[in-house]
Chains A and B, each alone.
Chain A
């Protein structure tokens, strides 16, 4: 087991619900990232618990994507460390999932083959691929479209393919970078519910980046509010509202306003 961060442990500080301490999935310790002289992430310390959906909210350009790229190991850290299950995080282990900010479907593969892509890379046995892909296609409602190519899909279907591909591999940790930013509101609600449903069913740990506060309050077990670049953690908000959550619920509105105030106060 890895030691807890030196800064006040968020698990003890602000998780009254957790009588039994939750397992730590990701440990971020003194994480600093700069591009040349441009400091983007400034000494971040936090954890992501196993099985939780953590939302990272912050203003545009504050370094959210940069953080995820550090976590996957696509970008080298300037200082500090990120541990997943106590080990140095790296995409090379192949147990991560990533839903990108931009479209990431593979244009020359059908929906089915796109969803199977991650499993094929992992050299999963064909029977297992077939079983998992078919199951996940049903779960996300992509079955009628499985023989289409990405160019024949709307933006929301396209993003669902990317989501299904990541869920099919049953990632240890799923990272999502404003996955619904491009979608209109109705589809976003739908996919948010869908994400939540699959996440609970599969028990996946999710780090969800967004700059949409409502989305964060709707989805999250916990919200971390980041400051303007260079980003530090401004506030942590635990969201214990029962599900399904309602946007007009007064306690929902209260939390939303709390997060909004935290973001605006600089």
Chain B
């Protein structure tokens, strides 16, 4: 009988430096992990040379545009100045009223609570709608009616209902993150292989047991897709949500930068948003990977 086991065999040919045709290379290098790591780095560096060049050119152009005042200092700050401010902002509250990490934490707290609440309600709702057609018929019309409204269009109502505190902002982010959570969990539950449902039922599983034992785990990959999109939506809505009177947060920091005519502050805020967003999705993909370890990829 044939069993395909995934084996991690090392192909010595892969370890050879590029261009080298000498097969003895790999054989010598393979047993030594240090050599292997260094060779790997060199090869990666070679492959990424082009990308590095393009980045360098980009930053040089940016710096040059500012240095030669092609764009004025109130419109754009050079990368050198942005970097300096980025470091300085770790230790100073001026001129926008808070340390960079305080802004970041405030934004993180806001985005994650909106995202968390959306996941807590959206994922179970989507899964149950996908499993129970009646619930779907009940909820779907309202959901479809509200879905196309962009989350930021809710801002005025959110302020009327919830004031200008954190709750209103959290609510906007919640709305943004809720929709992809519901839709993807719904699709995941819907796509459950009917044969597996029968396997559960033939052994006496109730509809809910089948949902729990088959529907939910089978939807897991789609749930994670939803989480990723939700997180993304939560994070991109952040700046808009922080337009609602705020005294802290990265969105607020950007606003302050504009008011103070300090493009460097604006850019530091933008950069931090970008980096944190990338960091969050990285964490989520780590969680996803450990969750599915062993399962089909």
Contact = CB atoms under 8 A, between A and B. Distances in A.
B205 interface: yes
Interface string B2-25: 111110000000000000000000
B202 A157 contact: no
Interface of A: 72, 74, 91-98, 100, 102-104, 106-108, 110, 117-118, 120-122, 145, 148-149, 151-154, 156-157, 165, 169, 187
Contacts, number: 78
Nearest to B196: A106
A92 B3 CA distance: 36
Interface string B199-223: 1111111000100011001101000
Given A121-B203, A157-B1, A74 B295 contact: no
Nearest to B296: A151
Nearest to B214: A106
B44 interface: no
Given A100-B198, A122-B203, 8 more contacts: A72-B202, A94-B205, A98-B199, A104-B195, A106-B196, A118-B203, A121-B213, A151-B296
Given A100-B195, A149-B294, A91 B1 contact: no
A94 B196 contact: no
A91 B296 contact: no
A74 B198 contact: yes
A81 B198 CA distance: 21
Interface residues of B, number: 25
B4 A154 contact: yes
A154 B3 contact: yes
Interface of B: 1-6, 195-196, 198-205, 209, 213-214, 217-218, 220, 294-296
Nearest to A153: B3
A77 B155 CA distance: 56
A169 B202 CA distance: 11
B202 A97 contact: yes
B3 A108 contact: no
Given A104-B196, A107-B296, A152 B203 contact: no
Contacts of B220: 108
Nearest to A156: B1
Contacts of B294: 110, 149
Nearest to A97: B202
A148 B294 CA distance: 9
Contact of A98 (B6, B198, B217): B198
A96 B214 CA distance: 19
Contacts of B4: 152, 154
Given A108-B220, A151-B296, A157 B3 contact: yes
